[in-house]
Amino acid sequence: MYKIAVIPGDGIGKEVMEATLHILDASTIGFEYTFADAGDELADKTGIPLPQKTIDIVKQSQACLFGAAGETAADVIVKLRRELDLYVNLRPVKSYPGTKSLFEDIDFVIVRENTEGLYSGIEEYTEEGATAVRVITNKASERICRFAFEYAVKTDRTKVTAVHKANVLKKTDGIFKDNFYKVAEEFIGIKSDDKYVDATAMFFITQPKMFSVIVTTNLFGDILSDEGAGLVGGLGLIPSANIGEKYGLFEPVHGSAPLIAGKGIANPSAMVLSAVMMLEYLGEIEEARKLEESLITVLTEGKIVTEDLGGTAST
Ligand code: ATP
């Protein structure tokens, strides 16, 4: 029996969460849910978008499923990432049938460092304009690279590629790259290579099948993840995971979509795939595959799909 914190949040977050829990309940694995509040609706009522009680519930659980937060997303999800030290942002780039993917058979993941880099928040005005500090530490570089290799082992992938710009950012990305190859030595069964970020942006479009696991720093990972989303047909089907030493939080990449909320037409696939990632994180690999393959069957048949995929089905 796994203890799962459930934060449905706002808008379609609530709708896709309900659908996903319904599916998880059909699994032979037992889940015990603890529901917690966060987001716009809660902020309207209480003035606080992310109460301490919600953080505590997540800390007392083995994993957290998160739906969506609207306007308060920065105060909710960014704060949760920091409070729980979720240093990995994991985004699969995978083509599914019946979607607007530019290629078939794309299947790689981006492992993005989530705590430092150019998003360390150190900025200041100068006489000429402003500067931002790009913080790269040995500790954070090593742990994100180690996560990427361990993830490759766990999910039967054979190659990890470090993406950087060490020819220009010689010191910061030099440290990132050195840590990558140091960690690579411990994983003899996994191939390792590295690419410049600009070349990688092009290879996503020209030769996306060359990638298996990509590990990269914060800003590069942010940009490449969205390029990856575009590559496989947009936000509707894209899950993500935020992972740290102690906690894991799984959420669709889309937001609360106020324009379609309340109509019962949201596509639950991204939330279902977030649950697949949670099952992988919990080590329930077989159950994860079963759930993902069921979704692929439904998408391939194309009979029961939501409006965004050209169908008429409800959530
Ligand atoms: P927020 O302010 O919470 O980020 P948003 O509407 O700006 O919400 P998204 O929630 O990412 O951003 O959605 C943008 C649009 O994408 C939606 O209006 C909707 O048309 C479409 N969309 C997003 N997620 C889904 C989904 N699960 N099913 C169907 N359409 C979706």
Same domain (yes/no): 213, 241 = no
- One domain for residues 208 and 246: no
The rounded distance, in Å, linking the Cα atoms of 293 and 126 is 54
Q: Is 116 inside a domain boundary?
A: yes
Residue nearest to atom 25 of ligand 1 (CA): 236
Residue 177 shares a structural domain with residue 193: yes
Of the residues 177, 210, 231, which one is the last residue of a structural domain?
231
In three-state secondary structure terms, 94 is: strand
CATH number, domain at 209?
3.40.718.10
In a domain, 288, yes or no: yes
pLDDT, tens digit, 9 for 90 and up, residues 91-120 = 999 999 888 888 889 999 999 999 999 988
Q: How many CB atoms lie within 10 A of CB 35?
A: 13
What is the per-residue DSSP string for 207-250? -GGG-SEEEE-HHHHHHHHHHHHHHTT-GGG-EEEEE-SS-EEE
Same domain (yes/no): 65, 127: no
Read off the pLDDT of each residue in 145-159 and give the average, rounded to a whole number.
Answer: 94
189 in any annotated domain: yes
In this prediction, residue 78 carries a pLDDT of: 84
Mean pLDDT of the chain: 95
Residue 95 belongs to a domain: no
Are 135 and 217 within one domain? yes
Q: Whose CA is nearest to atom 13 of ligand 1?
A: 257
- Out of 210, 231, 252, a domain closes at 231
How high is the pLDDT of residue 213? 98
Task: Please give the distance, rounded to the nearest whole angstrom, from the Cα atom of residue 311 to the centre of ligand 1.
Answer: 17
Mean pLDDT of the 274-296 span:
94
Same domain, 245 and 138: no
The atom number, within ligand 1, closest to the CA of 307 reads: 29
Segment 1-17 mean pLDDT:
97
Please name the residue that has the structure tokens 């996994």: 190
Whether 96 is in a domain gets the answer: no
Contacts of 216 (CB under 8 A, 6+ apart): 110, 111, 112, 113, 162, 163, 164, 197, 224
Q: For 72-88, how does the pLDDT look when each residue is reduced to its tens digit (9 = 90+)?
A: 988 898 889 888 999 99
pLDDT range class, residue 131, cuts 50, 70, 90: very high
Position 248 scores a pLDDT of: 97
Q: Is residue 97 part of a domain?
A: no
Boundaries of domain holding 198 = 102-231
pLDDT tens profile 209-258:
999 999 999 999 999 999 999 999 777 789 999 999 999 999 999 999 99
pLDDT value of residue 234? 72
Q: Which of 91, 175, 190, 89 is nearest to 139 (CA)?
A: 175
Residues 37, 110 within the same domain:
no
Residue 134: predicted pLDDT: 96
Of the residues 183, 210, 231, which one is the last residue of a structural domain? 231
Average pLDDT score over residue span 40-63: 96
Cα-based distances in Å from 61 to 54, 227, 249, 267: 11, 33, 10, 27
Q: Is 14 in the pocket of ligand 1 (CB under 6 A)?
A: no
- Same structural domain for residues 150 and 168? yes
Q: Are 31 and 282 in contact (CB under 8 A)?
A: no
Query: Is there a single domain that holds both residue 207 and residue 134?
Result: yes
With respect to residue 267, please indicate whether it lies within any of the assigned structural domains: yes
- pLDDT value, residue 121: 81
Q: How many Å lie between the centroid of ligand 1 and the Cα of residue 300?
A: 23
* Residue 46, pLDDT score: 96
Question: What mean pLDDT comes out for the span 171-178?
Answer: 98
- Taking the whole predicted model, whether its pTM rises above 0.85 is answered as yes
How many whole angstroms from 176 Cα to the centroid of ligand 1? 34
Q: Are residues 42 and 121 in the same domain?
A: no
Residues 162 and 210 reside in one and the same domain: yes
- The Å distance, Cα 236 to ligand 1 centre, comes to 8
Closest residue CA from atom 6 of ligand 1: 257
Nearest to 247 by CA among 76, 38, 59: 59
Q: 54 and 8, same structural domain?
A: yes
pLDDT of the residue at 299: 92
Is the minimum distance from the CB of 266 to ligand 1 under 6 angstroms? yes
Task: Fill in the amino acid letter for 79.
Answer: K
Our count of domains for the chain comes to 2
**Is residue 94 one of the residues assigned to a domain?**
no
